[in-house]
Amino acid sequence: MRGSLSMVLPAACIICAGLACGKPQPIVPGRPVPAGTVLFQFTKKVVGPLELTIDGIRTPVVKVGKKNKCRRLEISGLALGKHRFVLLSPLEAFGPDQIEVDLGAGQGAFKVLFSQELKSVLYGSPEPAPAASGIPGVQARLEP
């Protein structure tokens, strides 16, 4: 009994190590990202509300669909060139929360953001933020 156990244990360790060291699958968008569009995909589903700032201008984020939790943030209607995004939420933490994206001619961008639920306790009621003005022609949608 003891001899067979000493042979089974190393074999089980080798099998587990082989399964754990499998080739990781890259995270890619389900469809090609259109020109002038930035697609952020979160590692965990996000509840919101989100506060998005593009090049120093607050932009409203609209939740699409009836689902409460969303996986992607699609920002469309952006001009060519370099853009700086800042993403904040009272219920989630993002990594990184400041992203620079360079949009070239005829291409979009896809970024994966680490997201984590943040349970914080706030005493009192926060002041309501003024409505975000946004950039003309730019739309930000939170999608399931």
Ordered domains of the chain (ranges, CATH): 31-143 (2.60.40)
Average pLDDT over residues 122-134: 78
User: pLDDT tens digits for 12-45?
Assistant: 767 766 666 667 778 888 889 999 999 999 999 9
Q: Please report, rounded to a whole number, the percentage of residues in the chain having pLDDT higher than 70.
A: 89
More confident residue, 16 or 132: 132
- Mapping DSSP onto H, E and C, the string for the chain reads CHHHHHHHHHHHHHHHHHHHCCCCCCCCCCCCCCCCCEEEEEEEEECCCCEEEECCEEECEEECCCCCCEEEEEEECCCCEEEEEEEECCCEEEECCEEEEEECCCCCEEEEEEEEECCCCCCCCCCCCCCCCCCCCCEEEEEC
If you average pLDDT over every residue of the chain, what do you get?
86
Average pLDDT over residues 54-75: 91
What is the predicted pLDDT for the residue at 6? 67
User: pLDDT tens digits for 103-116?
Assistant: 988 889 999 999 99
